[in-house]
Amino acid sequence: MTILDGKKISNDIKAEIKAEVDEMKANGEKVPHLAAIIVGNDGASMTYVNTKVKACEKVGFESTLVRMSSTTSEVELMDKIEKLNKEDSIDGFIVQLPLPPQIDTQKVLLAVDPDKDVDGFHPTNFGKMSLDMTSFIPATPFGILELLERYNIPTKGKHTVVIGRSHIVGRPMSILMGRSGFPGNSTVTLTHEYTKNITQITSQADIVIIAVGIPDFLKAEMIKDDAVVIDVGITRVPDESTKKGYVLKGDVDFENASKKASYITPVPGGVGPMTIAMLLKNTLLAREQRRERK
Ligand code: BQF
């Protein structure tokens, strides 16, 4: 069994990005600039967005954090998005999810300029991705592709089972694994909460990608010998014995499934760090595309 070391690979990617930024600087070019809007002060969301700002610093990007109160109206948020769309110094920006209930997330994501949509959540980018056109690929699915590629894990003709149909992970992942090329060329099954006899399906999977947010959902008994297991879950479970007061739990019963799997991602240190690295990658691509356009 090989552990897919997302922490290490993400550091490799960050070093590659930093080298490109250093070259941009040496050539007197503008460096990539990422902005993030966070609405409210949810603990996990603040952690995520701070991780992103720190990652920008590490690779030499400029970053701007826009903090808005939890009582922000949809109109106020839309105004801010319009400003970032127009602001020439910003190459890409994200709206940290989830948003408070008074705000319509779909409407907000539609307002982001697709050329600055480094999260790849705008329908234009989702459509382009589905049609094999150049687009921003959502950071988590992009990170999973990158892990499969860098560990040279065969995907052609394999049966990939994706568990969970979220717009951010499961749905795009199911599309990407079925595209032509590597990683891709998989036969894909997308399962969700109404799927009957899920064990019968997962037992036939060469690759299982799970993103449901339910700790220990995938048991060793549900996978076949030598399956590749990608765990996207990152649930905070209260734990008084730790400094933070919680531990991160994946969707996979790692202790037992790891004995059966050929490759498996840990939590933490698997897919999570890859998400951050690929957000940076998308921001670098956004800068390069904007540079070419003018
Ligand atoms: C790690 C996210 C659910 C909802 C909104 C490193 C992250 C997580 C784990 C991280 C996530 C999850 C992010 C680890 C960003 C991934 O070491 O295992 C990094 O920061 N993530 C997000 O921005 O919004 C979310 C999950």
SS3 65: strand
Q: Phi/psi at 64 (nearest 5 deg)?
A: -135, 125
CA distance linking residue 214 with residue 207, whole number of Å: 19
**Confidence at 294, pLDDT banded by 50, 70, 90:** confident
Question: How long a stretch of residues is the chain?
Answer: 294
284 domain residue, yes or no: no
Given a contact cutoff of 8 angstroms between Cβ atoms, the answer to whether 57 and 251 are in contact is no
**Confidence at 184, pLDDT banded by 50, 70, 90:** very high
CA distance linking residue 249 with residue 215, whole number of Å: 6
234 domain residue, yes or no: yes
Of all residues in the chain, the percent with pLDDT exceeding 70 is 100
- Can you give the residue range of the structural domain that contains 265? 139-272
Q: Is 230 exposed, middle or buried (0-12, 13-18, 19+ CB in 10 A)?
A: buried
Tokens of 25: 């600087």
Tokens of 56: 């920008």
Q: Does residue 97 line the site of ligand 1, with CB under 6 A? A: yes
130 domain residue, yes or no: no
**Confidence at 123, pLDDT banded by 50, 70, 90:** very high
Q: Phi/psi at 196 (nearest 5 deg)?
A: -90, 145
pLDDT digits (tens, 9 = 90+) for 13-33: 999 999 999 999 999 999 999
170 domain residue, yes or no: yes
Q: Is 157 exposed, middle or buried (0-12, 13-18, 19+ CB in 10 A)?
A: exposed
Mutational pocket test of ligand 1: of 10, 37, 48, 54, the residue with most ligand atoms within 8 Å of the beta carbon: 48
Residue 134 confidence (pLDDT) above 80: yes
- What's the whole-number average pLDDT of the chain? 98
Q: Does residue 4 line the site of ligand 1, with CB under 6 A? A: no
**70 with 158, same domain?**
no
283 domain residue, yes or no: no
CA distance linking residue 21 with residue 6, whole number of Å: 22
pLDDT digits (tens, 9 = 90+) for 63-105: 999 999 999 999 999 999 999 999 999 999 999 999 999 999 9
**Residue that finishes a domain, picked among 63, 79, 113:** 113
Tokens of 221: 């008994």
3 domain residue, yes or no: no
Q: Does residue 268 line the site of ligand 1, with CB under 6 A? A: yes
Q: What's this model's pTM, rounded to 2 decimal places?
A: 0.98
Q: Compute the average pLDDT of residues 200-207.
A: 98
CA distance linking residue 267 with residue 252, whole number of Å: 9
Q: Does residue 11 line the site of ligand 1, with CB under 6 A? A: no
CA distance linking residue 28 with residue 136, whole number of Å: 26
**56 with 146, same domain?**
no
Q: What confidence score (pLDDT) does residue 293 get? A: 85
**109 with 172, same domain?**
no
How many structural domains does the chain have? 2
Among protein residues, the one whose CA lies closest to atom 13 of ligand 1 = 48
Catalytic residue numbers read: 52, 96, 119
